[in-house]
Structures are given as C-alpha cells and as structure tokens.
Amino acid sequence: MEDVKMFEGKKILITGGTGSLGQALTRRLLENDVDTIRILSRNEEKQIKMQSQFPTKRLRFFIGDVRDKDRLKRALEDIDIVFHAAALKHVPVIEYNPFEAIRTNVVGSQNLIDACLEENVEKAICVGTDKAVSPLNTYGATKLLMEKLFVSADNYLNKNKHKTKFIALRYGNVLGSSGSVVPFFINKIKSKEKISITDEKMTRFSITMNEALDFILESVEIGQGSDIFIPKLRAYSITDLKNAIFSLYGKTQEEVIGIRAGEKLHETLINFDEIRNTIDIGNKYVILKPESKNKYKNSKPVNITMDYSSENTEKLSQEEIKKLIAENIKS
C-alpha cells in the first residue's frame, strides 16, 4: 500500500498502543511522516520496551487508562486522529471478570468519545472484532457495544461546533498476533507438548498484520463517519492450519477437547440482518447506519445472501497457509 497522504503532519493518539497492533500501526504511521504519535497505555514496562524499539522524538508515551476520562482529555490535547485499540480481550479472563471488561471496553470507549468531542479531534477510529457479531461471550458483547457507541456518537454532534468523524472497524484475529493460535501451536511443538483443538471443523477468517494495517489506514482515509468497515477476507479450517504448522515445524501430539464456553464453531463478520444496510466498495464492505445516506461513490449493493462467515467464504489451501505463516511469523 502506498503512503496515505492524509496522515502527513498529523498528531496521532493510539490507545492501547503497546500491543501487537499498536506497535505495527506506530511503525507504519512513522513511515507516513506524521508529526507526533502518543501512546496511551497502562503498562510502563511495555512502554519502556517499545521506546527502545522506536528511537524517535516523534513518539511520546502516556501512562493512563481509558477508564480515566481526565487523563484521556490530557492525552488528546491538540490530537488530530485517534486509534482506539485499548481493550480487555482474553475471553476466559473476561468471563471471570465481566464487569471489568464493561468498565474498559464499554465505559472506556464512551469516555474516549466524550473526550474526542471536547477536544474536537478530526477522526476517531475504534478497532473491533468479528466476535462482536451475534456475540456468545462477554468480550464479544462489550465490543458490540463499543461499535454501537461509535456509530451513534454523531447523535451528540453539534455541526457548528464539532468536526469529529467516528469510524468503526471490524475484522478477525490477526495471524500471529499476541495470544493467537499460530504462535500458541508453534510454542507447543517446540516444547514437545500436546496441542489442544476444540473442534476439527472450526474455521476462522485470515488476515495478516500488513493486510490489517492497509485496511485500517484505507478505511480511515475514506471514512465519512458513523459506519462500520469490514474487509473482504478468506478463511481457513483449524485442521488445515494445524497440518500446515506440522509441515513447517514438525508434529506433536494432539487432542480434541470440544468447543469451550463462549466459543463459536465459525466466526461471522456480517450477519444476515446487517446485509440490508451494507454496501460493497471494492475490497471492503461498509455497514451504513440505518436510515443514513450512502456517501460512498462507486459503491454497489452487496452480493451476499447469507451471513458473511468463515464457514461460507472462500478457504485458503494448506499450501497457501504455509506460505502465509512462513512470510509473517517470526520463530
């Protein structure tokens, strides 16, 4: 993807910026000649480590939490564009501590929306997940509410006072990101431990970090506000993924343990009821706010007659999965 000119000279805030996505996004934005990037996160150790990896005066670090609205306002001073990636996301932890996820993923998102309006930023982008679609677990439910808050945020806009455009993004787990299945399987193989598979028929959407970054920056550039952007993705079966990893790293013992509470056999990016408000703009879909006008030129109706899920989309072959792992996973 070519440099996105809209970021030149801009001041950027990334909440939760010390995570896998935040660091990759920081690297890409620095290549796009931004003026400043501020990282807001809670973990000082991760900030120190990240600071050593990015020796530039254009990067600043703020210790803070999206639960703290006053700290958010301070971090947002003079900011043009906000990427909201801060979240509690580990499903078992959240199932045990549901209200903590609500405080961060829902209340924290509303705090950010309020602060963005007060500081009059240009664009605010929330990073979502396929687990927000017809959610089965608390994590998915909180991310669905985050989407709803961002899509409805323009209800607060005074057009004579506010210029902020709120944009929601929805995609699947990034291949090889922290806590994802690929590094988990590889580490198990290296330590000669048994790997656990919940169901051999399970499927998931496939997106690499570079594909995710392209999707995010393109969506921010063209986003008109109050819409949800979704990339067009292929998927893989967990069995093909496992066999591809075995082919690259050697085999280990395996067991099928059954689907865990709150887990889906297949993930969905657009459910059937959302199709009526969805348009096709080339390499991505946009879910428009109900009853809003279509502001996107050269768009067309979607050619989808059922849920856009990892079960019924085009699948990657085992050889294609091997190539993706070899090109994108450091081991």
Where do the DSSP E strands lie in 4-162?
11-15, 36-41, 59-63, 81-84, 123-127
DSSP helix/strand/coil, 182 = helix
Strands 81-84 and 11-15: parallel
Give dist(CA 87, CA 102) in Å, integer: 10
pLDDT in tens, 18-46: 999 999 999 999 998 899 999 999 999 99
pLDDT in tens, 152-161: 998 877 777 8
Q: How far is CA 96 from the centre of its chain?
A: 23
Residue 170 pLDDT greater than 90, yes or no = yes
> Domain for residue 254, yes or no?
no
- Residue 144: give the domain boundaries: 5-170
> Domain for residue 317, yes or no?
no
> Domain for residue 277, yes or no?
no
> Domain for residue 20, yes or no?
yes
User: In the predicted model, what is the mean pLDDT of residues 242-247?
Assistant: 96
What pTM was computed for the model? 0.95
Supply the CATH number for residue 161's domain: 3.40.50.720
Q: Do 105 and 142 contact (CB within 8 A), yes or no?
A: yes
List of residues 6+ apart from 241 with CB closer than 8 A: 181, 182, 185, 204, 321
> How many domains is the chain partitioned into structurally?
1
> Domain for residue 93, yes or no?
yes
> Domain for residue 330, yes or no?
no
pLDDT at 2: 53
> Domain for residue 119, yes or no?
yes
> Domain for residue 234, yes or no?
no
Catalytic annotation, pick one of 89, 123, 131, 165 = 131
Decide if 242 is catalytic.
no
Q: Do 287 and 116 contact (CB within 8 A), yes or no?
A: no
Give, in degrees to the nearest 5, the angle at Cα 245 between 241 and 248. 145
